[in-house]
Amino acid sequence: MEGLPDAAVFATRLKNTLIQYHSIEDDKWRVAKKMKDVTIWRKPSEEFNGYLFKAQGVIDDIVNSVIDHIRPGPCRLDWDSLMTSMDILEHFEENCCVMRYTTAGQLWNIISPREFVDFSYTVGYEEGLLSCGYIQTDLRGMIPQSAVNTAMASTLINFYGDLQKALQKA
């Protein structure tokens, strides 16, 4: 992983970008899906061909327990139904890493399992947590992008449901 900036500088840039995305005015986002305690928004990205997705959920638990569950590692594979394998390629600091993971198939395997290399970053912010993973939703091929976007919103809703169940077991 040569050429990456100093871990502290990189983490600061990533945190600032995450807060910048989080701070985009609400009227710029469109609700993609809403369930009881979770809302998923999306907006066209200005940086790449596709959408930014923002998920907000209410989870009533200890912040450190939530962090331990969403941070990439062996605990995550126990409960996250989207991931079938995961390797941490580079650890920058406790809450920031580059990981390679394989996803389960989506939409009755119309979207086949795929392997991604992704940044993961989680930080405490205001009264909760901000967490990001830049998931590439432009999968190309014969799948309509609208189906991929719908699957992404449903996957993020399921993420919260799976997390809630895992935290109740802990």
Compute the half-sphere exposure of residue 130: CA atoms within 13 Å on the CB side of its CA. 15
pLDDT in tens, 50-69: 788 889 888 888 888 888 88
Query: Could you give the C-alpha distances from 110 to 104, 107, 147, in angstroms and in order?
Result: 11, 5, 10
- pLDDT at position 140 is 63
The residues that bridge with 91 in the sheet, in sequence order, are 97
Is the CATH number of domain 7-168 3.30.530.20?
Answer: yes
- pLDDT at position 137 is 62
pLDDT in tens, 25-56: 989 999 999 998 999 999 988 877 778 888 98
Determine how many CB atoms are found less than 10 A away from the CB of residue 21: 15
- Token readout for 34 is 């809403």
Whole-structure pTM value: 0.79
Q: Among residues of the chain, what percentage have pLDDT more than 90? A: 18
Asked if residue 82 lies in contact with residue 104, where contact means CB atoms within 8 angstroms, the answer is yes
pLDDT in tens, 146-167: 777 788 888 889 889 999 999 9
Asked if residue 100 lies in contact with residue 18, where contact means CB atoms within 8 angstroms, the answer is no
Listed in sequence order, the residues at least 6 apart from 16 whose beta carbon sits closer than 8 Å to its beta carbon are: none
pLDDT in tens, 7-16: 678 777 878 8
In which element (H, E) is residue 164 found? helix 145-169
What does the mean pLDDT of the chain come to? 82
Asked if residue 99 lies in contact with residue 86, where contact means CB atoms within 8 angstroms, the answer is yes
Asked if residue 118 lies in contact with residue 96, where contact means CB atoms within 8 angstroms, the answer is no
Asked if residue 155 lies in contact with residue 82, where contact means CB atoms within 8 angstroms, the answer is yes
Locate the domains of the chain by residue range. Answer: 7-168
Chain centroid offset of residue 110 CA: 21
Angstrom distance (rounded) from CA 81 to CA 58: 19
Q: Which residue, 112, 148, 155, is CA-closest to 133?
A: 155
